[in-house]
Structure 1
Amino acid sequence: MTDAVDVNSAVRNVLRDETWGQHKQLHLHASFRALFKGTLDRSGYRALILRLYGFYVPLDAAIAETLGSSGFDAGDYAYHPRAPLFAQDLVDLGLDDAALAAAPRSPEAGTKISPNTLGGVLYVVEGSTHGGGVIDRAARDLLGDGPPDGRRYWDWCRTKGAYRWEMTNRLLLRLKEAGTPQQDLIKGARQTFQSIADWLMPLDRPSPSAGRSTESLS
């Protein structure tokens, strides 16, 4: 058991170290910073959720397709699609079905996923649930206490993140033991960070405090 834990920790440490720069840059995104500072209005928040929805619609599909690939053994790992949670948040925030159908989709999300890179993709996606729990507090300050209308995704991250991270770690260990090349895992993580950064870029605005640290998003 100790050896398995050490291997799993080593895999996570490599992925963390190899993507640290990209991870840090995502923390500095203006919309997230404004949300934490209490300066993001509801319109800006809705634009952020809409953008995330457009990212996860194709990514959810690509992850599901790869998990279903012939011969891919995911063990007890089961992916939970994110797009439906964001869709419900958007409905809560006033969008209708037509607006959701017309929402732009990321052309890059999920296009480069393979069975060998999937572990790195999920390292990023599932790891972000940790930050989602933190974001939930800031979203509650914006939207108000009570039912999680408009922040269902962040509330889900807060309540399910720890369980999902444990499950993801078991998958990473399984992939490592099956001989998945480490460089492919790194590639999947890097590509995922880059694709979400590119997709969120239109919402990024210069911030006078961009040089200071912000709360961790994951």
Structure 2
Amino acid sequence: MHSQAHDVGAPSLLEALRTGTALLHVALEKRLPFFSERLDADWYQRLLQAYYGFYAPMEAALYDCDLIPEGFDRVLRVKTPTLVNDLRALSLNDHAINALPRCANLPVLDTPAACLGALYVLEGATLGGQVLRREMAQRLGVNADNGGAFLDVYGAETGRRWKDFLDYLGRQPLDADDKQRAVTAACSTFSCFEQWLDGQEVLL
């Protein structure tokens, strides 16, 4: 009985993830070019192609590993199809999309806790969507119909889905070792993503 009790002084999974990834999160945000004066339509398209090159293998790895704890609606939250539709709207055909380079250096997703850490990063990335969509609409004339749907992938549901995800995280009975595995995977997801975008030469 006692072994199942939570350590009252231990941080929650969410607190551990927030604290553990804070520096990596800020570092990546500073290098994303969405608010750069130099961002043009060509750079934007290369950026979306690079996002696809990470999200397609990342989501495939996550959803194929069967380790995500029960209660996560992958059909509702998968983002690669929206990226594909945006790339089509930017005049890439399916052959060109399938030929895009894909990231091979992905985080290790070998435990349910590691999957939760990776999901935290992917879900958290949706939060600034409305600001990004407005900025790209203003600057490049990009909207949900012509290549910008991914930027605000959940639209009006963003806040609700983030709250639902946090509730889902809060229900996971993880011990201290599991929490550390989740944080390690989240940090690895940020690092792999930044290295990939850097290699694709789309960051500041």
TM range (shorter): 0.7 to 0.9
Question: Any runs of at least 4 consecutive aligned residues in structure 1 with deviations exceeding 4 A, and if so which?
Answer: none
Residue 111 of structure 2 aligns to a residue in which SS?
A: coil
| 2:100 aligned residue | 103
| 1:215 aligned residue | none
Residue 50 of structure 2 aligns to a residue in which SS?
A: helix
Q: Is the 8 A contact 1:63 1:110 kept in 2?
A: no
Compared CA separation, residues 199 and 147, structure 1 to 2 (3 A): closer
The 5 Å alignment of 1:182-197 reads 182-197=179-194
State the 1:178 CA deviation. Answer: 4.8
Q: Which moved more, 1:109-118 or 1:127-136?
A: 109-118
TM-score (norm 1): 0.79
Name which of 160, 165, 170 aligns with 2:167.
170
State the 1:191 CA deviation. Answer: 0.8
Unmatched tracts of structure 1, length 5 or more: 207-218
Identity of aligned residues (%): 28
CA distance in 1, matches of 2:78, 2:39: 26
Q: Which moved more, 1:107-116 or 1:165-174?
A: 107-116
Residue 74 (structure 1) aligned with residue 73 (structure 2):
no
Q: Is the 8 A contact 1:143 1:150 kept in 2?
A: no
Unmatched tracts of structure 2, length 5 or more: 1-5
Compared CA separation, residues 147 and 123, structure 1 to 2 (3 A): closer
- Alignment size in residue pairs: 194
Amino acid corresponding to residue 59 of structure 2 in structure 1: D
| 1:92 aligned residue | 89
Q: Is the 8 A contact 2:127 2:159 kept in 1?
A: yes
| 1:10 aligned residue | 12
